[in-house]
Amino acid sequence: MFGIGMPELVVILVIALLVIGPKKLPDLAKSLAKGLNEFRRATDDVKRDVQDSLRQDDEEEPLPPAGDAPPSGAGPASAASATGPEQDMPADADPDKV
């Protein structure tokens, strides 16, 4: 539990008992437990919402299988770079002066 052993936990509880007092310590423990439970519920709700949205995204746009993907360099980007303005220049022209 957070790397705290039993001796450390006993020391923390004794110090809390001395600082807070025996009458208010149970009330403090109850409110602390309620706060931790509320935090746990909130994080579970956020986790569930994220998982639901990821699941919906997967259902809406299925990815193509890995074998059907075009090989790298054979897509439209490589065709566009091969037909750029450099193709229209003569072989002896200086590309910096164009």
pTM, entire model = 0.45
CA gap 45, 39 in Å, rounded: 10
Measured between alpha carbons, how far is 98 from 86 in angstroms, rounded to an integer? 10
In 5-88, where does DSSP find H-type helix? 6-20, 25-60, 76-82
> Rounded to 5 degrees, what are φ and ψ at 57?
-65, -40
Q: What is the pLDDT of residue 83?
A: 54
76 or 29: which leads in pLDDT? 29
Q: What is the pLDDT of residue 60?
A: 76
On average, the pLDDT of the chain sits at 78
Structure tokens at 55: 């699941």
